[in-house]
Chains A and B, each alone.
Chain A
């Protein structure tokens, strides 16, 4: 049935919430990572168990998106509707299901792993101790079935759109977003309200509102989680944005590598259209809004808004000089607003709860929260959403459980290939757009890669630059050739061919690339080099002055030697591909350094730890 007024929407939500439902709800995390970790067999076991024990009226199963607990997938959550008690199980196996279902929410089933919830929902809750996370963007992700619009409506979905269309003028909406202080979550942090205002100020006519879902940072998957877990929130926000700037067409530009997100978006759009929540004359306001999906095809640079627009137009995704800005001349030369998924995911909450509420979370300059994809050497890899101003220590140690295998924290890279590394000395810095910029990194889209003592920072810089090389569009000279030269210099350093002069050249060329590249990708591409240089210059110097890689990563600089522990078993001799280990049987062996390939085979096979790597 079509929903044609706010009253009908409220009635529908009321009916959905008051219909008789089983007392127990079981949430099964079916994001991409959950599926890869084996949630499907778990889900099957759950369904089988329910059928077998005739639990249909006792337990309602809901297939939800990612709960952010990637390190513990498969993850399920058991919720008692009446008492509000809940249990989150991680590393679930199909075999555990009967016991879990039998145990209920009073106590965990034996032989299982349970996880404490360390987040709260600012829209409806106040934080308890240890709840570092505040979920606004992820408020529905992992809580509702993304393939069922009713669950979204039951949670207050589309009330923000209804309010905007029936109670507010377009300018009121822009004023609200401006007052909230919401800034673009795609990386740059440009105030969203201002962006909308620019487009709204353009003469009336065809305009576009575009969602950038081309998340491409290595190690970032926040947007995917939102699209897979709560697609309607993005659709609703785009419609609100469309109303604000006078656009009746929305375009979602999404990576082709996200098939599940695409599928769920398609389902969501179809269901919204069926309900009259997208299409003509929404809520009887006379406002029409439709959404199209356009696909990327594997080009990181298309995250840059002008490149993205060209890609939608079927061209090579090469950025163009701004101005003209997309707000003036965007898709098909019409005024366009490009915001990313996470930015949109904030809009409905702001409309419902107000600008002041939003500003009460986060910092003065950067209100609200930020979602990070926590990865690398951290114990609990996953998705976290914290208020702006939270410290890295809270995120990495509080939520992330510290460093894997008890190793030493060395640095964390934020902002992906455009960002920089942050060291121990800044662990207690409250992070927002300005503070990260101040220490030579950037917010970026939210990738957060933790590194420990085994990571060579020169090699890390090289890794990010290699990514940039692969992804540079090749249009402007500094990015096309400059980054290539930077990479070659880093390669020289990791191969032991660098000199102090190489380091100086790295610095000057990096500065020029930042100063002259055409687009954001190029302008920020030297950041990993500059920030590792400023924080770990001694590591660079060790490479060039002493031919030594302190982390023992750079193969050409590593030496293997055999110590007194050698019993002369000859195992290493048999494994050495270069036949460069010799020695009498039962006597200490030796490695001919001139022929050693540094492959490490001897180091790996020696049972007596007699091979040393340094």
Chain B
């Protein structure tokens, strides 16, 4: 009888960079000697997640699985912990966090056009980051700079009186 079941998912092949990152995480975990007291292995979880996030930038599913296996706990528990602590994220976040203010004042002054321009140029939706990890695009409630509406924030810097035309300039500025 041929096997038609959804057999075990094989792990996706890793890029060399990713493999190096997993090696680094693996070495870190090994250095902790987590098996010294098996009942207390999970006491290392948060420490390991901190390190993993600093290595990978975020905590993707594969990393969560890696950590769960190393500590012999369920993936659900690892995810439960990640989702509990605000410091951890399972989504990649771009280096440049672009937030378009969608407060009322900015809205009527054309924020949607600006937001759409960013979406088109970056090829991502709101709340996503570009695949190269450079840009994150988000929308914010009022940032309290209504006199400059519409407003865009890139990390902590505020750009006022935005138009769709200026979007390219901002992206270029970040590129340099």
Q: Majority SS of interface residues in chain A?
A: loop
* CB contact under 8 A between A597 and B46, given known A317-B84, A473-B84, A577-B149: no
* CB contact under 8 A between A599 and B80, given known A314-B45, A314-B46, A317-B85: no
Give chain A residues whose Cβ lies under 8 Å from the Cβ of B152.
none
CB distance from B58 to the nearest CB of A (A): 14
Report the stretch among B23-31, B102-110, B120-128 that lies at the interface: B102-110
Q: Does B47 contact A316, Cβ atoms closer than 8 Å? A: no
Task: Kindly identify which residue among A295, A318, A470, A601 contacts B50, using a CB–CB cutoff of 8 Å.
Answer: A295
Give chain B residues whose Cβ lies under 8 Å from the Cβ of A604.
147
A578 CA / B44 CA spacing, docked (Å): 54
A314 CA / B37 CA spacing, docked (Å): 14
Nearest A residue to B88 via CB reads A297
A317 CA / B85 CA spacing, docked (Å): 8
Interface residues of A in 18-77 (CB under 8 A from B): none
Does any Cβ of B come within 8 Å of A605's Cβ?
yes
Task: Kindly identify which residue among A256, A296, A313, A316 contacts B43, using a CB–CB cutoff of 8 Å.
Answer: A313
CB distance from B135 to the nearest CB of A (A): 24
* CB contact under 8 A between A577 and B46, given known A597-B104, A599-B146: no
A287 CA / B73 CA spacing, docked (Å): 35
A98 CA / B45 CA spacing, docked (Å): 51
> How many chain B residues touch the partner (CB < 8 A)?
28
Task: Kindly identify which residue among B47, B85, B88, B105 contacts A577, using a CB–CB cutoff of 8 Å.
Answer: B105
Q: Does A297 contact B108, Cβ atoms closer than 8 Å? A: no
Nearest B residue to A602 via CB reads B147
CB distance from B66 to the nearest CB of A (A): 15
| Interface range, A side | 20 to 34
Give chain A residues whose Cβ lies under 8 Å from the Cβ of B87.
256-257, 296-298
Does any Cβ of B come within 8 Å of A184's Cβ?
no
Interface residues of A in 285-344 (CB under 8 A from B): 294-299, 311-318, 332
Q: Does B40 contact A600, Cβ atoms closer than 8 Å? A: no
A299 CA / B49 CA spacing, docked (Å): 15
* CB contact under 8 A between A315 and B81, given known A295-B46, A297-B87, A577-B109: yes
* CB contact under 8 A between A298 and B81, given known A314-B42, A314-B45, A577-B106: no
Give chain B residues whose Cβ lies under 8 Å from the Cβ of A315.
42, 77, 81
A-B contact pairs, 24 of them (CB 8 A): A294-B47, A297-B50, A298-B86, A298-B88, A299-B85, A313-B42, A313-B43, A314-B42, A314-B44, A314-B71, A315-B42, A317-B84, A332-B43, A575-B147, A577-B104, A577-B108, A578-B105, A597-B146, A599-B105, A599-B149, A600-B146, A600-B147, A601-B147, A601-B149
Residue numbers of B with Cβ under 8 A of A are: 39-40, 42-47, 49-50, 71, 73, 77, 80-81, 84-88, 104-106, 108-109, 146-147, 149
Q: List 6 extra interface pairs beyond A294-B46, A316-B84, A577-B149, CB under 8 A.
A: A294-B43, A297-B49, A298-B86, A314-B73, A315-B77, A601-B149
